[in-house]
A and B are shown apart, each in its own frame.
Chain A
Amino acid sequence: DVVMTQSPLSLPVTLGQPASISCRSSQSLVHSDGNTYLNWFQQRPGQSPRRLIYQVSNRDSGVPDRFSGSGSGTDFTLRFSKVEAEDVGVYYCLQGTQWPWTFGQGTKVEIK
């Protein structure tokens, strides 16, 4: 199975400041079709997960542009340009290139 490793696991942030989360995979996430199926999800307290980013850098509909994704191969990053209070929650990367699809451990974002 592809192992997804996130860092940090806890991210205290200051409102209005930038922040980032790293996600590394144990093998390349480039699919045989040429696409890279790396997703980012947000789970706010008490809510179901919500996808923010698909195929490394594409924002889902309705996702604020302060969220951005980047990376390639085995190394990926989710960036917040300016953290807002509603961004508190746990963020997960998910690889959908190879079954079984696997999540990272999650990064808990909290306000300092």
Chain B
Amino acid sequence: EAQLLESGGGLVQPGGSLRLSCAASGFTFSSSAMSWVRQAPGKGLEWVSVIYRGGSSPLYADSVKGRFIMSTDSSKNTLYLQMNSLRGEDTAIYYCVKGKTAWGQGTLVTVSS
């Protein structure tokens, strides 16, 4: 059974940076499409980024393009999201997702001064 454990969330000032991690287990990480999805407090869902395997580049939502960078380390079965130039509207729970079926519990990012 796929398991995903996010970490790295916290409070950061506007303009700051944060790196989220997602430790994956229970499946072949190197061959699975992986994503980040976020949910602002009390709001709906937004698919932030996705990476297909086989050397393709990640895709990003316009709201984060140029500020967020998604990457993977297959030797550690870990997915990352480097978030730069953070804004208040980036405040959300960030979920790590395998395909569309396995979701982590999420990590909360709060952008505030």
Q: Kindly specify which of B10-18, B19-27, B45-53, B75-83 makes contact with the partner chain.
A: B45-53
Alpha-carbon gap, A101 to B104, bound state (A): 19
Q: Which residue of A1, A49, A54 is within 8 Å of B45 (Cβ)?
A: A49
Q: Are A54 and B59 within 8 A (Cβ)?
A: no
By a CB distance below 8 angstroms, the chain B residues around A43 are 45
A20 within 8 A of B: no
Q: Which residue of A48, A51, A94, A100 is within 8 Å of B104 (Cβ)?
A: A48
Alpha-carbon gap, A41 to B95, bound state (A): 14
Per-residue A-contact encoding for B84-108, CB less than 8 Å = 1, 0 else = 0000000000010000110111100
Q: Given A100-B62, A103-B46, A105-B44, are A54 and B95 also a contact pair (CB < 8 Å)?
A: no
Q: Are A51 and B61 within 8 A (Cβ)?
A: no
Q: Which residue of B47, B95, B100, B103 is within 8 Å of A102 (Cβ)?
A: B47
Q: Which of A93-108 contact B (CB under 8 A)?
A: 94, 96, 99-106
Alpha-carbon gap, A43 to B93, bound state (A): 14
By a CB distance below 8 angstroms, the chain A residues around B104 are 48
Q: Which B residues form the contact surface with A (CB < 8 A)?
A: 37, 44-47, 50, 59, 61-62, 95, 100-101, 103-106
A48-B104, A100-B61 known; 7 new pairs, CB 8 Å cut-off, are A48-B95, A49-B45, A92-B45, A94-B45, A94-B47, A100-B47, A103-B45
A-B contact pairs, 17 of them (CB 8 A): A39-B100, A41-B45, A48-B103, A48-B105, A49-B95, A60-B101, A92-B44, A94-B45, A94-B47, A99-B50, A99-B59, A100-B47, A101-B50, A102-B47, A103-B44, A103-B47, A106-B45
